[in-house]
Amino acid sequence: MKVKPEQLPQTLLTNKYSTFWISGDEPLLVQESADLVREHFRKNGFEEREVFNVDSDFSIERFTNSVNNLSLFSTSKIIEIRLDKVTGKNGSADKLKLGQDEKTAIDTFSINNNPDFVLIITSVKMDRAVLNSKWFKAHESLLALIQVWPIDNKGLVKWLSQELSNSGINADNQALQILSERVEGNLLAAKQEIEKLKLLANLDEKSQVTLDTKTIMQVVANNSRFDIYDLIDTALHGDAERCQKMIASFKEEGTYPLLVLNALTRELRILNNMVLSKESGQRLNSILQTNRVFFNRKQAVTNALNRLSSNHIWRMLDKALQIDKAIKGASFSNPWDEINNLVLELSGEKILN
């Protein structure tokens, strides 16, 4: 059963599940959901904990022995499986590695169905191939699946406000906006900056303090971190200003421009297929469903489909070809300047030729 992260505390109270699979590409949010599960079961007498990293050193025999035995000093046990990942190529996101050993371990726990054990599985985002597989479908009703999605730009301000409040710190809207800009795309850095602000304020558990914009600017480092697919979704949303900020960040980090261009070209080709369907009279909801657009991207893709035509996309693909030549030294154009123009055009800005 799919469970939203905000529904997890209530789901835990039902005591319906003994397996919790937490997946996502934001490590801090995955960790926080896993902490909630651990805390709940520790309060309910699960005193022992054993962690298995499913990597090259993983032993399925040791795992099987673990799920079949309790120690002499414990009545209940939390078992954790931390699944490995495969690093994506050409700038693509990391993919979940789910081989036979991983499946056997989860199968073994499920078959034993021991009420004295709880299983916590953590992994990067699950792709459609895993979610739609016959193997996963057989387990889906027996576990709670918590899919953690990255926080978007608007949601980050709300998240920061809550985290600061939990630490006894109030901040006005301007201070929150500045803080969000400096830690955008990097929640671990955001958490560190909040701890730094808490130490600066010298707070005890019952104190509250309000920090102004000046203090935020002086204390918080610029920890923004983006990935290429954040850039694409931002362009589809039509946020040209933020796109420029992200491209500047890529340049500073020394990102190879061909990685960005490849991701943009792939997205344009996918968009073109959807636009052609729209131009032939197909309904938007049907197009999104047919192309398996995840719900967290539906608004961004819809925005793009409503403003782009197939002819426009073909022009952008032609520009992408010219940028490819510039990257490979076949023209004198500046690749980053041309990528910036291409992204701005994708976001809805008119570019003078």
Residue 297 belongs to a domain with what CATH number?
1.20.272.10
Q: How many angstroms separate the Cα of 24 from the Cα of each of 102, 136, 140, 157, 168? A: 18, 17, 17, 20, 29
Residues 189 and 129 occupy one common structural domain: no
d(CA 118, CA 48): 11
Mean pLDDT of 150-174: 83
Residues 15 and 87 occupy one common structural domain: yes
Whether 353 is covered by a domain: the verdict is no
Asked if residue 72 has pLDDT above 70, the reply is no
Residues 34 and 58 occupy one common structural domain: yes
What SS3 state is found at 302?
helix
Residues 161 and 288 occupy one common structural domain: no
pLDDT band at 336 (very low <50, low <70, confident <90, very high): very high
Whether 352 is covered by a domain: the verdict is no
pLDDT at 227: 76
Tell me the residue length of the chain. Answer: 353
Residues 88 and 170 occupy one common structural domain: no
d(CA 127, CA 292): 11
- 228-237 and 257-279 helices, crossing angle to 10°: 40
Whether 131 is covered by a domain: the verdict is yes
Q: How many angstroms separate the Cα of 155 from the Cα of each of 159, 162, 333? A: 6, 11, 38
Contacts of 57 (CB under 8 A, 6+ apart): none
Task: For the beta carbon of residue 119, count every other beta carbon within 10 angstroms.
Answer: 22
Place of tokens 């309910």: 44
Residues 89 and 123 occupy one common structural domain: yes
Whether 275 is covered by a domain: the verdict is yes
Residue ending a domain, choose from 148, 174, 202: 148
* Greater pLDDT, 108 or 194: 108
What's the CATH code of the domain at 12?
3.40.50.300
For the chain, where are the alpha helices, taking DSSP H only?
A: 8-14, 27-43, 60-68, 100-112, 128-131, 134-140, 153-166, 173-183, 187-201, 213-219, 228-237, 240-253, 257-279, 284-290, 298-307, 310-327, 335-346
Residues 138 and 161 occupy one common structural domain: no
Q: How many angstroms separate the Cα of 246 from the Cα of each of 145, 202, 228? A: 32, 34, 9
Residue ending a domain, choose from 118, 148, 178: 148
Domain with 174 in it: 153-219
Residue ending a domain, choose from 93, 122, 148: 148
pLDDT band at 91 (very low <50, low <70, confident <90, very high): very low
Residues 144 and 157 occupy one common structural domain: no
Whether 69 is covered by a domain: the verdict is yes
Place of tokens 């403003």: 307
Residues 200 and 255 occupy one common structural domain: no
Residues 128 and 235 occupy one common structural domain: no
Whether 126 is covered by a domain: the verdict is yes
Whether 89 is covered by a domain: the verdict is yes
Sign of torsion, CA 8 11 15 16? negative
pLDDT band at 353 (very low <50, low <70, confident <90, very high): low
The listed range with the strongest mean pLDDT (59-73, 86-100, 198-212) is 59-73
Sign of torsion, CA 321 259 294 128? positive
Whether 34 is covered by a domain: the verdict is yes
The C-alpha angle 345, 328, 256, rounded to 5 degrees, equals 65
What's the CATH code of the domain at 161?
1.10.8.60
Residues 75 and 110 occupy one common structural domain: yes
Q: What is the average pLDDT score of the chain?
A: 85
Residue 52 · residue 63 · CB < 8 Å: yes
Tally the domains of the chain. Answer: 3
Closest CA to 341 of 228, 247, 262, 237: 247
Asked if residue 297 has pLDDT above 80, the reply is yes
d(CA 210, CA 242): 28
Residues 24 and 39 occupy one common structural domain: yes
Mean pLDDT of 187-209: 70
pLDDT digit string (tens) for 49-62?
Answer: 889 988 878 888 88
